[in-house]
Chain A
Amino acid sequence: MEYQKAAELNGLCNGKIVTEYLCRNGFSELTVDAKKVAVQHKNETSRKEAEDESRLPALEEAYTTILRGLGENTDRQGLLKTPLRAAKAMQFLTKGYHETIYDVLNDAIFDEDHEELVIVKDIDMFSLCEHHLVPFFGKVHIGYLPSKKVVGLSKLARIVEIYSRRLQVQERLTKQIAMAISEALQPVGVAVVIEAARMCMVMRGVQKMNSRTVTSAMLGVFREDPKAREEFLALTKGAQ
């Protein structure tokens, strides 16, 4: 399915670029295999946790080159271990590549007869801009209308973590979160809103301190029914 390949865009080295998403019409075109929970190529990650250690020396050398190129003296006390620390920090900030949705979600999907809106809001999110390798951070609000299946609430936050701890574009991040939830639960609708401050705009470039970027992904009934969307937006604006 086309939309699966869109999700390959980060984390997996296949790199097929997709220009359209099939989910344009909500879920009417989905034929989902009942057993298939996750979109992500279930057991494949582009990075294994065990390999992290072995990749550290190359990363350290790269950071040492960068420090020298910036005109710093890498032998001074404060910078002696910086390449190692920076390499580990970078690995932590991109740890989303280790994990798949499948691992995180498989156990926590429950059959409940609940058909009202479920919202988890103000989830702190930290990610890295893939264009400048500079952080962007903000809050994620997720809402979904279940259709007989609900998911453990912290799992929504874990989905956010998996996708945000990568080199990201905010639009893609929003979409990936929405797609992951929709494929795991097949709900009636999913809505994801991300409001973030981008350091690449604040610390450099245009240098606008107070600007915020807001992106959203509305799938299913949230896309078709304006009232559902309004309810979601009103509830997430509520107690900010």
Chain B
Amino acid sequence: MERSKQKQMNESENEADSAINGHFDGRVKIPGWSAGGAAGTPSTAPSSSVMESWREERTRSLEDNELSLPSIAAAYTTILRGLGEDPQRQGLLKTPWRAATAMQFFTKGYQEKIIDVLNDAIFDEDHDEMVIVKDIDMFSMCEHHLVPIFGRVHIGYLPNKRVLGLSKLARIVEIYSRRLQVQERLTKQIAVAITEALQPAGVGVVVEATHMCMVMRGVQKMNSKTVTSTMLGVFREDPKTRDEFLTLIRS
């Protein structure tokens, strides 16, 4: 883990931005936009500093997990003591290990690459109507407070001769949400991943989530929800398409 991270860090020294979400940050070239691959849309390619997901390096492997477990568990023991608890009492004896394993599970998105998940399930279909998968349950971790975020993701895309296996949309959500995230970035990463995989005419992603950092602490607003969305391609330019998408996810 250290080695691959070092390599990435060295490569990124030339870039102005530091790594986002643990990955090497590169300027994204979205193939197919500027080359007119999308049916006649003269859009300016939305340049973003989000990862080019196909080229991601995996930052963590299962062996890395095992190797770092003792130090994470020791850190949790320190935390328990610092909070005034007794780590030797029966209920807390194995808590550092359980909490460490749980935290590794909540960040298992770092172990996976889009390319592994998607490679087989892209099919050539002559379908050019909107495809929507909605109400995908999403669980993530706030990168600022290390407290859960959970909610729903709605994804829609207008295929351009290529469609994706539907569960793969949910898998893309899983890969990006099981990380330390900011909701805005999560939405964008999902949209960009689908764009790069399929080169569709347009992609729309809406994420509606409850942030425990606002509910359990801080302002403590129980019923507040945060909604973010990313519209790319024809969803961004054509208001009618966007309306259709938003209406269908609401119904």
Contacts and interface: CB of A to CB of B under 8 A. Distances in A.
A58 B89 contact: no
B20 interface: yes
B249 interface: no
A126 interface: yes
Interface string A1-39: 000000001110101010000000000000000000000
A185 to B, nearest CB: 28
B216 A131 contact: no
Contact of A130 (B22, B74, B92): B92
Interface in B80-104: 80-86, 88-92, 94-95, 98-100, 102-104
B76 to A, nearest CB: 7
Given A15-B86, A73-B22, A63 B75 contact: yes
B79 A134 contact: no
A71 B107 contact: yes
B182 interface: yes
A69 B68 contact: yes
A137 interface: yes
Contacts of A86: 145-147
A200 to B, nearest CB: 7
B19 A47 contact: no
A202 B110 contact: no
Contacts of B69: 69
A130 B95 contact: yes
Given A70-B107, A89-B146, A203-B106, A75 B18 contact: yes
B103 A199 contact: no
A45 B19 CA distance: 43
A233 interface: no
Contacts of A97: 83-85
A91 B83 contact: yes
B27 interface: no
A77 interface: yes
B78 A73 contact: no
Chain A interface residue number, banded? 35 or more
Contact of B74 (A65, A199, A200, A202): A65
B139 to A, nearest CB: 5
A90 B81 CA distance: 12
Contacts, number: 173
A61 B78 contact: yes
Interface residues of B, number: 60
B143 interface: yes
Contact of B145 (A85, A94, A126, A134): A85
Contacts of B99: 132-134
B217 A89 contact: yes
Interface in A73-119: 73, 75-79, 81-82, 85-87, 89-94, 97
B82 A17 contact: no
Given A15-B89, A62-B76, A167-B92, A204 B19 contact: no
Contacts of A94: 83-85
A63 B146 contact: yes
A235 interface: no
A202 to B, nearest CB: 7
Contacts of A77: 18
Contacts of B88: 15
Given A70-B68, A73-B18, A167 B82 contact: no
B72 A66 contact: yes
Contact of A76 (B18, B83, B91, B145): B18
Given A70-B60, A73-B18, A73-B22, A135 B72 contact: no
A131 B92 CA distance: 6
Contacts of A213: none
B59 interface: yes
Nearest to A10: B85
Contacts of B137: 209
10 contacts: A10-B91, A59-B79, A63-B146, A71-B60, A78-B144, A78-B180, A89-B146, A94-B83, A97-B85, A167-B92
A-B pairs, 8 with minimum CB distance: A47-B84, A69-B68, A62-B75, A71-B60, A133-B99, A65-B75, A86-B146, A15-B89
